[in-house]
Every structure is written in structure tokens, then in C-alpha cells.
Copies of this chain bind each other. A is one copy, B any other.
């Protein structure tokens, strides 16, 4: 939020950008493409919106590695033991989703219900479970590769829901959204090459959808003071490139809809993954933000899918 190019601020603190985001959200809800809930950043999707997402996925998969990759699909929750190894709680505590449940007796439950009947919070009657919400689509995958990789490493195709606790009006900032990732785990050169390849290839995918995207050197939104240094390092070492689309004209610097990232040996060290040659594995991934690409299409080609360019619809198969 700090890098936003805020143009006009009213007395209420509302900016042109805030208004543009709220207006886009309203359009999507009025058109019935998204369904409002009582929580900002959480939406139901209409059938039409889902058709768009599935159409995007066909274009993504067509550009992808096909049978050369191992397809893996994970549910939206994953083991706390894996979450711990990602170090996510150190870097993005504010986006985290930890899962609690009730594990007490009949009598404990009666106490919970008494609090509830009094209009009080009943969370104190819950306990942490051994699961967490999936933070990035690839996070549940690394634990599978603890040990020694096959010769040449592995290439993965992963598609699933991610959770980020960041309530927002901007429809492009959802709390729950899908990410389709292609991930390599191998030696340092393979991780670098995969990342480079997917900057170009990602631009091609977006070109096929007739989206006007720009590659931008970027950093993750690391938390707090220590996070500022991590972010600076990530930029300096050129580890993250985002493909951005301007959903709100020149009111901000654009919205990242694809991200190509070199993790270096972060997951290799934390999940104890080694190459066939005995080195600590490196990894990199490209992530396609499916809802954000859908929103870019709706913003670029209009809310009426029937009126989109024929070539785009044909490629998407919708």
C-alpha cells in the first residue's frame, strides 16, 4: 500500500484509487459476476466467473509443460509441520490462517454455548489443530521431496486455493483465491532458468488473452521492520518478477497477476531436499493468479463476455 501513487485525497481520506476500486467492485456485484459476503475480500463466484477462470486455465495449461510435469492438487488446508518449514509465520504473520477447533467434553461444550448465548466470543473454548490454511499453492508440495531428488530434479504442476488474511475493497485483493503454479526443484541453474523462462512465457500467456502486461522487478510484502530488509534483498538479487496490469489506469502502479520467483535454497534447506549430486536443492515457481487474471479480462474486454474478442474466447474455449 505504501508505494501507491495516490492522487487526490478527500477530507474523509478517500482517494481516487479507493473510489475506482469500490466502483469496480460494485460493477462486478451488480452484474452478478461476484457475490458479496459480509466479509470484505470474500466473494462467491457466479457460473460465468467460473467459466472465465476455467477458460484462463486452459490457456495456462496449453502453455505449460504438459506431461513433463507431475500434477499435484492439494486441499486448502495443509499440515502445520509443513507450514512451520516455510517460515511463513516469520515473514507474513499478518496474512496467516491458523485453524482452531473444539476438542472438549460435553461440559466444555455447554460452557461454549453459554458464552455464545450471552453474545460473547466462544473462541476461548477452541484449541489449535495441526493444520493451517494454504498460504501459497506450492507450499504443501515441498514436504513430499524431503530427501534426494531424482536426476534432473522435478517439475510440478500445482493448482489450488490460497488464503491471505487481508480484508480489502479492491476486488483484486481477495482473502481466498486460486493460483496455478509450475514449480521446479533442482539445482541452482535449473531454478534460475525456470524463473527466466516463465517471465517470457507468462507474457505470452497474457498476450494470448490480449492483456497489456508489464514485467516489474518486485518483492514480497514481508512483515514489519525486519521485513523491509528482506524485501530490499529480494529486489537487489532480482528474485521476483511480477507481470502487472493496470486495472485502475494511472491511479496505482498496476496489479500483479502473474509472479515468477526464485526461492534460491530456502525450501531446499528448510525441507531438507538435496539434488542427485548431493547439493542443497534450489527451487523456483511461476504463479498465475486466476481470479486476478479474470478481473483483468473483465476490466480490459468488458463485463459482457459475449462481446470479448473472438480470438480470446476461442483460445479460452468459452
Residues of A within 8 A of B (CB): 35, 37-39, 42-47, 49-50, 70-82, 89-90, 93-104, 106, 109, 112-113, 116, 121-123, 126, 128-131, 133, 140-141, 143-144, 157, 161, 163, 165, 167, 174-177, 223-225
Asked if residues B116 and A176 are in contact (CB atoms below 8 Å), the reply is: no
The verdict on A77 contacting B176 (CB below 8 Å), with A94-B102, A130-B39 known, is yes
State the Cβ distance, A267 to closest chain B Cβ, in Å. 16
Give chain B residues whose Cβ lies under 8 Å from the Cβ of A165. 99, 101, 129, 131
Asked if residues A73 and B45 are in contact (CB atoms below 8 Å), the reply is: yes
Give chain B residues whose Cβ lies under 8 Å from the Cβ of A35. 72, 144
Asked if residues B70 and A47 are in contact (CB atoms below 8 Å), the reply is: yes
The verdict on A140 contacting B44 (CB below 8 Å), with A89-B122, A98-B99, A112-B93 known, is yes
Give chain B residues whose Cβ lies under 8 Å from the Cβ of A97. 77, 99-101, 129, 131
Give chain B residues whose Cβ lies under 8 Å from the Cβ of A109. 93, 223-224
Complex CA distance for A235 and B101, rounded to whole angstroms: 27
Complex CA distance for A94 and B127, rounded to whole angstroms: 10
Complex CA distance for A45 and B78, rounded to whole angstroms: 13
The verdict on A39 contacting B79 (CB below 8 Å), with A72-B45, A93-B109, A109-B224 known, is yes
Specify which of B38, B45, B106 is in contact with A143 (CB 8 Å cutoff).
B38
Asked if residues B112 and A177 are in contact (CB atoms below 8 Å), the reply is: no
Asked if residues A71 and B50 are in contact (CB atoms below 8 Å), the reply is: yes
Asked if residues A101 and B94 are in contact (CB atoms below 8 Å), the reply is: yes
The verdict on A101 contacting B90 (CB below 8 Å), with A46-B72, A77-B176, A163-B77 known, is no
- Chain B: CB-nearest residue to A122: B89
Specify which of B45, B46, B76, B102 is in contact with A93 (CB 8 Å cutoff).
B102
The verdict on A47 contacting B71 (CB below 8 Å), with A39-B131, A90-B113 known, is yes
State the Cβ distance, A151 to closest chain B Cβ, in Å. 19
State the Cβ distance, A121 to closest chain B Cβ, in Å. 7
Asked if residues A75 and B177 are in contact (CB atoms below 8 Å), the reply is: yes
Residue from A96, A100, A174 whose CB has the most chain B CB atoms within 10 Å: A100
The verdict on A112 contacting B89 (CB below 8 Å), with A101-B95, A101-B97 known, is yes
State the Cβ distance, A242 to closest chain B Cβ, in Å. 23
Complex CA distance for A71 and B165, rounded to whole angstroms: 26
Asked if residues B128 and A123 are in contact (CB atoms below 8 Å), the reply is: yes
A-B contact pairs, 7 of them (CB 8 A): A47-B70, A49-B73, A76-B133, A77-B175, A94-B102, A100-B123, A131-B165
Complex CA distance for A96 and B109, rounded to whole angstroms: 13
Give chain B residues whose Cβ lies under 8 Å from the Cβ of A113. 89-90
Give chain B residues whose Cβ lies under 8 Å from the Cβ of A79. 37-39, 42
State the Cβ distance, A96 to closest chain B Cβ, in Å. 5
State the Cβ distance, A181 to closest chain B Cβ, in Å. 14
Give chain B residues whose Cβ lies under 8 Å from the Cβ of A99. 97-100, 133, 163, 165
State the Cβ distance, A302 to closest chain B Cβ, in Å. 21
